Amino acid sequence: MYKVGIIGAGIGGSYLSYCLGKEGVDTIVFDFRAPHEKICGGGVSYKTIERFPIIRELPIPRKEIWKSTFISPKDRTVEIGLEKPLTIFNRRDLDYALLKKAMRFGAHFRKEKVQSFAREGNSWRIFTTNGDYKAEILVGADGALSRTRRKLNVVLKKEDAFFALECFLTVKRDVVIFKFFPDIQGYLWAFPRSNNLAVGIVSNYCGKTNVKDIEKKLLNFIERYYPEQAPKISVQGAYIPLFCADDSKNIRICDNNWALIGDAATFVDPVSGEGIYYAVYSAEILSQCIVENELARYQPLCMKHFGENLVKALLGLKYFYQPEFIEVMIQMAKGSLSVCRIISDMMSGSLDYLSWKGVLRKGLHAIMSDFIFNADLASKHEVITNLFKLFPRHYRPFLGNKIS
């Protein structure tokens, strides 16, 4: 009998097993695919590495990026120097390094597929392709399409998701690229890794995403910027959960002897799609609750520590992806160091969704001064036109929503 059985050895499941192993909690982890590459840019924000220094200490390849290029829906481009680096890993390396560290602290790992599980009194029997195991507490860490979540009857709609495509190019670069489009709620990314370039695109599913359409956008980007790579690529797809504020109140992600973490609990930034920070953070909170025998506190603690920020991000989702808003930000970034600093802070995680409006208001005088003195007349006219298009259709509802 194990104390905790974890289904999934991605970054959340691996980090949870590490935390529990350090505390002497008898833990077993199941993942028939591990180690494997995940559809993910692999970018780890500065705030993640600062909060969880173990990631910095892992002896695996990485690449620190200090520049980011943003391309607007109208193909305007601005390059921004980052004040704090974005660190990019291969997910296969990152997840497996954490799992191996957990195993050194006593966690057990089985490269077996979990076929089913069932309650036995106050514990669980977990059936795999090779046998069966018993655990007091069951944890689902098996990603966006979590079978564990579905079997526990924690039901989410398929529409509450993003859809992503990704491929890897054999080119070397030192700049992160984000490309936005006028007709999708999402973006394209190009993340330089130590040995390749991860290029992908993500779009809010909402029951409307045309996979062929976003694949065409991805291929067109590659043909334009990396034409020599176009004939060689192989594209893979995956779903990314969309955090839902209503679900965070109405749907349980834990009970007296089970819990969900990371993507399985839909802990993903609904604007950026960032999931690594929340996977690791939710694993840390859950480990503390297990050690203290306070599993019921897990969900409220997640909402207290990062849930309100995700709720605020959800309120601003449509606002952030309005083409007019992106055009304004990119045009103003060309002439305003203050706007560049705000974007840099958001990429590093120093600026969250609860505080960014206050920072923007505080720096409004400097932003407008920079823009007025540095922008040409045509840019000023277009920025003002776009701002009027946004208000009040998008500004007013966004500014009016507050978290009680």
Express each pLDDT in 187-209 by its tens digit. Answer: 999 999 998 999 999 987 655 55
Residues sharing a CB contact under 8 Å with residue 141, sequence separation 6 or more, in sequence order? 6, 7, 8, 9, 10, 12, 13, 16, 148, 260, 261, 262, 264, 279, 283
What confidence tier does 403 reach under pLDDT thresholds 50, 70, 90? very low
pLDDT of residue 392: 53
Q: Which of 86-90, 203-207, 333-337 has the lowest mean pLDDT?
A: 203-207
Query: What mean pLDDT comes out for the span 12-29?
Result: 97
pLDDT, greater one: 342 or 64: 64
Q: Which of 76-80, 229-233, 366-370 has the lowest mean pLDDT?
A: 366-370
pLDDT, greater one: 257 or 238: 257
Residue 192 near residue 172 (C-beta atoms within 8 A) = yes
Residues sharing a CB contact under 8 Å with residue 120, sequence separation 6 or more, in sequence order? 134
Domains of the chain in start order, with CATH, are 2-42+90-157+243-313 (3.50.50.60), 161-241 (3.30.9.10), 317-400 (no CATH)
pLDDT of residue 400: 44
Strands 2-7 vs 27-30: parallel, antiparallel or unpaired: parallel
**Burial (CB count <10 Å: 0-12, 13-18, 19+), residue 122:** exposed
> What is the Cα–Cα distance from 117 to 6, expressed in whole angstroms?
12
Structure tokens at 274: 């960032």
271-322 per-position pLDDT tens digit: 888 899 999 999 999 999 999 999 999 999 999 999 989 988 888 887 888 8
Query: What mean pLDDT comes out for the span 169-185?
Result: 93
Task: Return left, alpha or beta for 24; rule: phi > 0 is left, psi -120 to 50 is alpha, else beta.
Answer: left
pTM: 0.90
Q: Which of 145-159, 172-186, 238-252, 258-272 has the lowest mean pLDDT?
A: 238-252
Taken in order 309, 311, 312, 314, the sign of the CA dihedral is positive
pLDDT of residue 230: 81
Residue 363 DSSP SS3: coil
> What is the Cα–Cα distance from 200 to 46, expressed in whole angstroms?
21
Give the number of other CB atoms < 10 A from CB of residue 369.
12
pLDDT of residue 227: 92
Residues β-bridged to residue 43? 88
Q: Which of 35-44, 50-59, 79-88, 138-147 has the lowest mean pLDDT?
A: 35-44
SS3 string of 23-59? Answer: CCCCEEEECCCCCCCCCCCCEECHHHHHHCCHHHHCC
Q: What are phi and psi of 163, to 5 degrees?
A: -120, 135
Residue 197 DSSP SS3: strand
pLDDT of residue 19: 97
pLDDT, greater one: 99 or 246: 99
Q: How many residues does the chain have?
A: 404
pLDDT of residue 23: 96
